Amino acid sequence: MSSDVAPAARSRYSAVAMLLHWLIAGLIITNVWLAWQAEDLHGAAKMPIMQWHKTLGISILVLSLLRLAWRLFNKPPPLSPDLKVWELWLARIVHWGFYVAMIGIPLTGWLMVSATPLIKVYPIHMYGLFDWPAVGFLSDLPRDQMKATHEAFETIHKLAAKIMIYGLFPLHILGALKHQFLDKDPEFARMIPFLPMRK
Ligand code: HEM
Ligand code: HEM
């Protein structure tokens, strides 16, 4: 059995890990909702929603990098010793899949919007306060290369978002519900501070 599975100690994630988990989860869900609202709009009507999508997306990128750094330097609580091997591996794949998504999706969004001439007219305006820089060399590519680069990052952005929404989300939520209600482990209490840790 691996070192992150301990028989006795059953504890919670740290306050910082819980705060970042729920803050980032809320922002991601809001950002997916914003993207879906924008899908049927065109031209000027789409702009304000997309500015919020980009602002929240860049905030998710920064918070997720902080969260990853915290995770690498602070060991998470040991997983339940009652988990079967396949459950352990699935939990690990979903958790690390989320880290890849939380960083990779906003990063490809940033690269996508950097590779378009529009970025010089409509920069990423964060909370209406300041401009987030574009990835400079992408905005200076020759037109046809810029278009191909934009389309490549757009394809990855959309595909990765779909994998997260239709793959990682359901697996994560069903897994948490299974451990809480079928296995009767205090699963939610690991991530929610005011719930009791007792079985
Ligand atoms: C966008 C939404 C979400 C994302 C990106 C997300 C991401 C994550 C990640 C990466 C971890 C692993 C933390 C680590 O070990 O560093 C985690 C753990 C956890 N999440 Fe979420 N989560 C989301 C939504 C939810 C929801 C809606 C629930 C409630 C059902 C939930 C419940 C939990 C629980 C209970 C854990 C602890 C798992 C354990 O180690 O036992 N999460 N989440
Ligand atoms: C975790 C953060 C993010 C999530 C979950 C997310 C998710 C999505 C989703 C679900 C779509 C719609 C995909 C579709 O139509 O199939 C989308 C579109 C888009 N996203 Fe993001 N995104 C994020 C961050 C960003 C960032 C940081 C930027 C740019 C700075 C960005 C720029 C865009 C653009 C421009 C589109 C529209 C593409 C089009 O014209 O159809 N996104 N995003």
**pLDDT per position as a tens digit, 109-139:** 999 999 999 999 999 999 999 999 999 899 9
Q: What is the CATH number of domain 15-190?
A: 1.20.950
**pLDDT per position as a tens digit, 39-54:** 999 988 999 999 999 9
What per-residue confidence (pLDDT) applies to 6? 45
Residues whose beta carbon lies within 6 Å of some atom of ligand 1: 21, 24-25, 28-29, 71, 76, 95, 98-99, 102, 172-173, 176, 187-188, 190-191
- The CB density around residue 150, as the number of other CB atoms within 10 Å, is 20
Q: Whose CA is nearest to atom 33 of ligand 1?
A: 191
In this prediction the pTM is 0.94
Provide the β-strand partners of residue 27.
none
| Domain map (residue ranges) of the chain | 15-190
**pLDDT per position as a tens digit, 143-195:** 999 999 999 999 999 999 999 999 999 999 999 999 999 999 899 999 999 99
What per-residue confidence (pLDDT) applies to 10? 53
189-197 contact pairs (CB < 8 A, 24+): 189/12, 190/11, 190/12, 190/13, 190/77, 191/12, 191/13, 191/18, 191/21, 191/22, 192/18, 193/12, 193/15, 193/18, 197/10, 197/11, 197/12
